[in-house]
Structure 1
């Protein structure tokens, strides 16, 4: 087989494409909300909540937003065959693929050249979905698959394996231009640095001085402060030449342990290392929240009207911080309970949310009003020092 040959997923009804005509949006000013009394330079006002079919809504956004959306996050139905209060999650497989394909084509058009797509999914459809997105975005634009630990304990009544994670498929619009931010190191990472010898350059941590390969010029004895001789272990050599090692020892950048007779280690100072780090593909519940946390957030917001399948605010915070900067547009066309918009607003991003269900008015609108009025004290509010402000417009699709 030709390795350059393009492979495609096939299913019944794939060739059938909906013919869509864009519609105009009509604002319902009784549900739109602005709060200019709370002065906040990070608050955004040109945000949209759209009530209507997300396929038609995405098509209608093209004229104004094509190539302008920096980050798209979607949490589509996982097609598990389950029934939830807010939506039916049991479409026939081919129908589910067609539903996603039509929307992903429009999402691709809306994304900016440096933008990215993030899709939450589980094992049931993940691998089919990846092949589908490969067709639309191109395999070369696949960034990675994130594993998010949605549960922190085993489910005792699991029939086979207890599922602990969901996937997040990550794609660039253009792999050569995509913007992916590094994360700022926190207290957890910085706590590894100590100042055992009261070095005036501040906290440091020990690094390895060995390389796992034999280089003859880097095999020589190194003498500690007590005169003890140290050699590389079998199959290794020093990372540095003899002249460089002598220079590092003279500059007090080599640590021989508290008693001066341990194998030499290099001192890496906190003040000299990068304050950021690349994002990994394993997101633990400690760093990105979990299902129970999301349900507690939902209960605090909606009381008895708790949403069935919410995502924690910390999960969306991580995605939005990685994929955008303040002022960028975040789009969620499966808005659910409105977590993406709430988090984007608190982070000073612009946002667009689309939702067809009645919870657009029962959950999303009241939630965003609380965020804007500074009444939402849950989720990431305190961590990002959100004080309120900004606003949104509530739009409905005009009739055909």
Structure 2
């Protein structure tokens, strides 16, 4: 390969690469003369390691030193140590350091990830950031789109594209993200992704030779571009299991900054009886996954909205009784009686607090109500939810001021109420009433404030922390979205929580591992705008069809909880494939006899790597002796990976035969003024 020839050329002239390094660091004239004038590879050295101005010449020392340090791993070049670990910026592995990055093989490279079916395994080429800068630039150029379809509206598609519609795109997500970057940079409020976990059982089957490093590179490439889509107050939620969680955390620290880490959520998705692991595996059974949350700027991030876990109320009461846990909601204010103004005082801002004595009120215990009303306890709690209370001793300046005023006036009513207008909190700006009783003024805390009624059942709400229980929601997944999807479909309730706490209506939500479309479906039902990307072939039969049903008013998942009645629209489009078509054909070959046909097609129609002579490969005896699978892998490598998809800049090239309508839609989509 050319890289090896360049290194060999330097060694032949200067004996060792170490000597070359020393000369470079000292800006030695002899080395420069050789690189610029004497070497037979001088043009290559010039283009790689020098910048030419009108009157200046700049030597790119760091690139040259990195080039000397590059190591070859299976045909992909990398300058990072072939180990996983924490390292400082000199690439020395360290156990502790304040400034750390995650080193792994191929960290300085780009992997596309080119599967279109779960069962495929691919040997991906890594494009190194120094050796293949041109290839990477082309790889990340905007791609042409085809098969545009407007779903849910009967409008002119070209006009509709101008209004930033909801988008579902089929194609390689890394390339699609780079294609969308200029349109949506700094505009997305929430990114949620549930990528392949690299367990050996999921869809991550890229390049098994360096599977762990491959996964990290795969994620690094996508997280780096994903960050550019986020608003300054935007957040990204990345779901994973414990197989890669620790490394992913450090990688995200590097990309987003440790100061922008928000939380790590543990999500219970299985009860132990249904969990994997354990037994002969020697490990505890797995029943949780993790969600890592980062923001683009912690300073600008709004506080998440509160979320609650819920449990059927009477089950909760029974649990408390069985475990000798005090259940304190044991009384009801059946009638507040009459109120008599007995005093006023001021809050800390000088605003009035009115104090009323309550007369002829009616308070009963739950036990007394069971006897008087001939109901059981469960019925009492259901019918009198709004009346039942407990008393508590709040650390409140309001209570202290009221208590001081009553002592000042030598008043001691048993039951009082106060009215004031809070300046903050959930009752901000409205007249708010509170009840107190007893000499110490115990505050009434109402049961209605900690429960919710759904389907004629009462559920106790508890503020959720960083452990979320969605095991029950996982048991009903087959009914959600009216689609069958075996690859770890997530419950709509989980996405509802994430979207609810982090976004508002009309914010943009993105998922570039769209899968069955759960994120997009829930975002649509919750009146958010959305962008979804999926490269697997099931996007047409599963993802798109699910979203069509959402528009039609599908009532599964969270539809009833958010009062979803249908409506809305989205645009479907596909990255326009070129060599990707031939890679798919090669992958699907089942017989040696089919090879002859594909050879001719590749030679006449496909875009081949300019560094490879396919005719020489086909005549090679060693190639002839390979089995079918190895021949298929070599043929895929012969194809120019930069030509997997048609570039937007080439849409009017006659070789690609795009219709006038497709060209026009591409120009409108990308905001080309000449559309």
TM-score over 0.5 for the pair: yes
Instruction: Give the TM-score taking structure 2 as reference length.
Output: 0.47
Deviations 1:192-231 (Å, cap 9, x if unpaired)? 86752436397464354399xxxxxxxxxxxxxxxxxxxx
Q: What aligned pairs does 1:231-380 form with structure 2 within 5 A after superposition?
A: 243=404, 251=416, 253-254=435-436, 265-269=442-446, 280-285=465-470, 290-297=473-480, 301-302=482-483, 305-374=484-553, 376-380=554-558
Q: SS at the partner of 2:573?
A: strand
Picking from 283, 289, 301, the partner of 1:166 is 289
Question: Is 1:8–1:131's contact at 8 Å kept on the other side of the alignment?
Answer: yes
What's the counterpart of residue 107 of structure 1? 226
Aligned length: 351
Question: Is 2:165–2:571's contact at 8 Å kept on the other side of the alignment?
Answer: yes
Q: SS at the partner of 1:196?
A: strand
What's the counterpart of residue 206 of structure 1? 390
Q: 1:248 to 1:8 in 2, by over 3 A?
A: farther
Deviations 1:250-269 (Å, cap 9, x if unpaired)? 6375556xxx9xx9853235
Picking from 11, 33, 37, the partner of 2:151 is 33
Displacement after TM superposition at 1:26 (Å) = 1.8
Instruction: Give the TM-score taking structure 1 as reference length.
Output: 0.76
In 2, Cα distance between the equivalents of 1:391 and 1:111?
A: 23
Structure 2 residue 574 is the aligned partner of structure 1 residue 391: no
What's the counterpart of residue 75 of structure 1? 194
What's the counterpart of residue 211 of structure 2? 92
Displacement after TM superposition at 1:14 (Å) = 1.0
Q: What aligned pairs does 1:116-265 form with structure 2 within 5 A after superposition?
A: 116-155=235-274, 158-159=277-278, 160-183=283-306, 196-198=332-334, 200=336, 203=387, 205-206=389-390, 208-209=392-393, 243=404, 251=416, 253-254=435-436, 265=442
Q: SS at the partner of 1:340?
A: helix
In 2, Cα distance between the equivalents of 1:134 and 1:174?
A: 13
Displacement after TM superposition at 1:278 (Å) = 6.4
In 1, Cα distance between the equivalents of 2:285 and 2:96?
A: 37
Structure 2 residue 83 is the aligned partner of structure 1 residue 6: no
Q: 1:196 to 1:328 in 2, by over 3 A?
A: same
Question: Is 2:259–2:298's contact at 8 Å kept on the other side of the alignment?
Answer: yes
Q: 1:187 to 1:311 in 2, by over 3 A?
A: closer
Structure having the higher Rg: 2
In 2, Cα distance between the equivalents of 1:200 and 1:339?
A: 47
In 1, Cα distance between the equivalents of 2:103 and 2:310?
A: 49
Displacement after TM superposition at 1:292 (Å) = 2.5
If asked which structure has higher relative contact order (CA below 8 Å, sep 6+), I would say 1
Question: Is 2:192–2:236's contact at 8 Å kept on the other side of the alignment?
Answer: yes
Q: SS at the partner of 2:214?
A: helix
In 2, Cα distance between the equivalents of 1:346 and 1:193?
A: 36
Displacement after TM superposition at 1:88 (Å) = 3.8
Displacement after TM superposition at 1:66 (Å) = 0.3
Structure 2 residue 47 is the aligned partner of structure 1 residue 47: no
In 1, Cα distance between the equivalents of 2:490 and 2:307?
A: 23
In 2, Cα distance between the equivalents of 1:193 and 1:12?
A: 60
In 1, Cα distance between the equivalents of 2:271 and 2:449?
A: 36
What is the alpha-carbon root mean square deviation over aligned residues? 3.8
Q: 1:322 to 1:390 in 2, by over 3 A?
A: same
Q: 1:245 to 1:157 in 2, by over 3 A?
A: farther
Question: Which of the two has greater helix per residue?
Answer: 2
In 2, Cα distance between the equivalents of 1:283 and 1:377?
A: 24
Q: SS at the partner of 1:251?
A: strand
In 2, Cα distance between the equivalents of 1:147 and 1:354?
A: 26
In 2, Cα distance between the equivalents of 1:22 and 1:368?
A: 29
Q: 1:208 to 1:312 in 2, by over 3 A?
A: same
Deviates more, 1:56-65 or 1:194-203: 194-203
In 1, Cα distance between the equivalents of 2:272 and 2:195?
A: 25
What's the counterpart of residue 381 of structure 1? 559
In 1, Cα distance between the equivalents of 2:308 and 2:488?
A: 30
Q: 1:2 to 1:102 in 2, by over 3 A?
A: closer
Structure 2 segments unaligned to the other structure (5+ residues) = 1-93, 111-126, 128-135, 156-162, 315-327, 338-385, 418-434, 453-460, 577-645, 648-675
Q: 1:166 to 1:184 in 2, by over 3 A?
A: closer
Question: Is 1:45–1:390's contact at 8 Å kept on the other side of the alignment?
Answer: no
Q: 1:360 to 1:200 in 2, by over 3 A?
A: same
In 2, Cα distance between the equivalents of 1:156 and 1:182?
A: 31
In 2, Cα distance between the equivalents of 1:177 and 1:388?
A: 34
Structure 1 segments unaligned to the other structure (5+ residues) = 38-43, 212-238
Displacement after TM superposition at 1:117 (Å) = 0.4
Displacement after TM superposition at 1:280 (Å) = 2.0
Q: SS at the partner of 1:198?
A: strand
